[in-house]
């Protein structure tokens, strides 16, 4: 599988619309020079996304510094929900610079007090305490520790954590083991045998089983028991409201049964909202789509729409279980000030409702596209402003990673920036502020790119 895109500037047709501008070869030759300099000194792992140099970013647009302007369908991988460089977020950061207060370890600060109070105010009442970190993976690691320590207090053997195949909870070693992607784990060797995974209830897995969501959960958990797992020792379950790579949601009856089972078994439920939180799915948090009261919630990315900040929130007795839970940069004052401004903008500018409304337009456009290419587009998933378009190889169920890689590259040449999932899915997650016509325009660029790719392969 090709990981790095070949670097060459291409002469492309000029584009000039209200939302996009392409006026030079792409990537611009200076961008190629910059990327090559970076590639000389950085890991390949930092160079698998599209070769688009970001000079500045504002609202739903990215500028490369050479006159080209791209519609952003990534929100910087689900960070800039209130739009890139939101004026209120910038102002909050600038205020900290002017004081100046740019870091303070976890000594108290006004900025942190204001933000955490507001965060706790907008989340369900029972989630009344927070710990702040800098990255999403730190919060899932923290939930892992808390769930285990909670179980361990009940029974020293109750330390098993249940997760889902295909899930993603971060890239540090604990978070990676919580995640359900098997690739890339071989080197760990002594995988934690007290982390277990069951299949995610995709639509096709459900169809194959012929069971309801509720029956499927009970069957798969029983299968674990048959494999020798003592279910009474499950201390906690970690779920994402949707699995990131495919924007795949759980059936409601599956969640209902899982919640009931967890209650009966005295197991905690962590919801990993690192990607789905802060309006992405048309609700403040993804778990609000389910009838679910999580014990712990992990947040990151769009918490600030900008600087690195993350948080785990939960009931006081859980959050206070481990007195060592803090970190050097967790709760940085600039990140807290930015997060307060971002959260207020999200609510005051009705961006959560906007996400739900624009999501319907997005879904409509994508469904039309699927109707045109039923042999290629096998599945569409969309809720609010997160969507995934699954491309499969003709006469096969295998997802077509190469086709998607080529398609999003072509779209970049026309002024649309995409997430590269390396999974055969186009993942769409623009800032929630994106104008409706820019959203439709970007999807039309994808459609045009697919037509061109098909013409090229038939030529
Ligand atoms: C659901 C989920 N959890 C955790 C993480 C890890 O976050 P970070 O990259 O900030 O460590 C991500 C990042 O993509 C994510 O999508």
Residue ID of nearest Cα to ligand 1 atom 13 = 170
What local confidence, expressed as pLDDT, does residue 6 receive?
Answer: 84
Distance from the alpha carbon of residue 393 to the mean position of ligand 1, in angstroms: 29
Whole-angstrom distance, CA of residue 195 vs CA of residue 241: 19
Average pLDDT over the chain reads 97
Kindly report, residue by residue over 221-244, the tens digit of the pLDDT: 999 999 999 999 999 999 999 999
Distance from the alpha carbon of residue 136 to the mean position of ligand 1, in angstroms: 5
For ligand 1, which residues put their CB under 6 angstroms from it?
A: 135-137, 140, 168-170, 240, 244, 272, 274-275, 300
DSSP E strand stretches across 255-300: 268-272, 296-299
In three-state secondary structure terms, 417 is strand
Whole-angstrom distance, CA of residue 355 vs CA of residue 381: 15
Which of ligand 1's atoms lies nearest the C-alpha of 308? 10
Could you tell me how many residues make up the chain?
Answer: 459
Q: What are 425's strand-pairing partners?
A: 390
Domain 15-82+351-458 has CATH 3.20.20.70: no
Quickly state the pLDDT bin for 2 (edges 50, 70, 90). Answer: low
Distance from the alpha carbon of residue 198 to the mean position of ligand 1, in angstroms: 20
Which of ligand 1's atoms lies nearest the C-alpha of 175? 4
Residue ID of nearest Cα to ligand 1 atom 8 = 136
Distance from the alpha carbon of residue 186 to the mean position of ligand 1, in angstroms: 21
Give DSSP secondary structure letters for 353-382.
HHHHHHHHHHHHHHHHHHHH-TTTEEEEEE
Kindly report, residue by residue over 88-140, the tens digit of the pLDDT: 999 999 999 999 999 999 999 999 999 999 999 999 999 999 999 999 999 99
What local confidence, expressed as pLDDT, does residue 291 receive?
Answer: 86
**Tokens read off for 314:** 């939960």
Domain boundaries in the chain?
A: 15-82+351-458, 87-348
What local confidence, expressed as pLDDT, does residue 458 receive?
Answer: 80
Which whole number is the average pLDDT over 368-395?
A: 97
Distance, CA of 292 to chain centre: 20
451, 370 Cβ separation under 8 angstroms? no
Kindly report, residue by residue over 133-178, the tens digit of the pLDDT: 999 999 999 999 999 999 999 999 999 999 999 999 999 999 999 9
* CATH numeric code, 87-348: 3.40.640.10
Which of ligand 1's atoms lies nearest the C-alpha of 300? 10
Angle at 56 between CA 52 and CA 60, to 5 degrees: 85
Which whole number is the average pLDDT over 357-381?
A: 97
Q: Which of 274, 280, 285 gets mutated to test ligand 1 (max ligand atoms within 8 A of its CB)? A: 274
Whole-angstrom distance, CA of residue 386 vs CA of residue 365: 13
Distance from the alpha carbon of residue 107 to the mean position of ligand 1, in angstroms: 26
The answer to whether the predicted template modeling score (pTM) of the entire model surpasses 0.95 is: yes
Q: What are 243's strand-pairing partners?
A: 248
**Tokens read off for 317:** 């007795």
Which whole number is the average pLDDT over 302-328?
A: 97
pLDDT of 400 above 90: yes
Residue 145 CB partners (closer than 8 Å, separation 6+):
322, 325
In three-state secondary structure terms, 63 is strand
Q: What are 10's strand-pairing partners?
A: 26
């Amino acid at each position: 599988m090709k990981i790095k895109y070949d670097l060459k500037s291409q002469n492309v047709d000029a584009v000039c619309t209200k939302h996009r501008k392409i006026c030079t070869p792409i990537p611009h030759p200076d961008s190629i020079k910059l990327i090559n300099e970076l590639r000389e000194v950085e890991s390949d792992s930092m160079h698998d996304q599209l070769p688009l140099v970001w000079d500045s970013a504002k609202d739903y647009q990215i500028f490369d510094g050479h006159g080209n302007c791209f519609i952003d369908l990534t929100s910087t991988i689900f960070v800039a929900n209130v739009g890139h460089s939101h004026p209120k977020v910038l102002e909050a950061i600038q205020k900290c610079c002017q004081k100046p207060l740019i870091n303070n370890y976890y000594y108290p600060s006004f900025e942190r007090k204001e933000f955490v109070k507001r965060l706790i105010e907008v989340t369900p009442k029972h989630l009344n305490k927070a710990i702040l970190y800098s990255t999403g993976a730190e919060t899932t690691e923290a939930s892992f520790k808390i769930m285990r320590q909670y179980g361990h207090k009940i029974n020293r053997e109750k330390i098993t954590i249940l997760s889902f195949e295909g899930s993603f909870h971060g890239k540090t070693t604990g978070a990676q083991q919580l995640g359900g992607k098997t690739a890339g784990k071989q080197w760990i060797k002594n995988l934690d045998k007290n982390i277990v995974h069951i299949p995610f209830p995709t639509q096709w897995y459900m169809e194959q089983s012929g069971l309801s969501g509720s029956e499927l959960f009970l069957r798969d958990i029983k299968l674990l028991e048959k494999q020798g797992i003592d279910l009474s020792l499950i201390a906690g379950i970690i779920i994402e409201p949707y699995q990131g790579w495919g924007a795949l949601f759980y059936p409601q009856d599956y969640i209902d049964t899982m919640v009931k089972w967890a209650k009966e078994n005295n197991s905690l439920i962590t919801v990993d909202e690192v990607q789905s939180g802060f309006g992405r799915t048309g609700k403040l948090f993804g778990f609000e789509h389910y009838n679910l009261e999580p014990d712990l919630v992990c947040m990151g990315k769009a918490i600030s729409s900008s600087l690195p900040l993350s948080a785990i929130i939960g009931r006081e007795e859980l959050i206070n279980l481990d007195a060592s839970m803090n970190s050097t940069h967790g709760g940085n004052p600039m990140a807290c000030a930015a997060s307060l401004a971002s959260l207020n903008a999200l609510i005051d500018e009705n961006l959560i409702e906007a996400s739900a409304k624009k999501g319907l337009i997005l879904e409509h456009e994508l469904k039309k596209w699927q109707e045109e290419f039923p042999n290629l587009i096998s599945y569409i998933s969309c809720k609010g402003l997160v969507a995934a378009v699954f491309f499969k190889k003709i006469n096969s169920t295998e997802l077509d990673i190469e086709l998607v890689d080529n398609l999003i590259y072509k779209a970049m040449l026309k002024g649309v920036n995409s997430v590269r999932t390396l999974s055969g899915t186009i993942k769409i997650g623009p800032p929630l502020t994106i104008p409706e016509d820019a959203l439709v325009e970007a999807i039309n660029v994808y459609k045009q790119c697919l037509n061109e790719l098909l013409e090229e392969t038939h030529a």
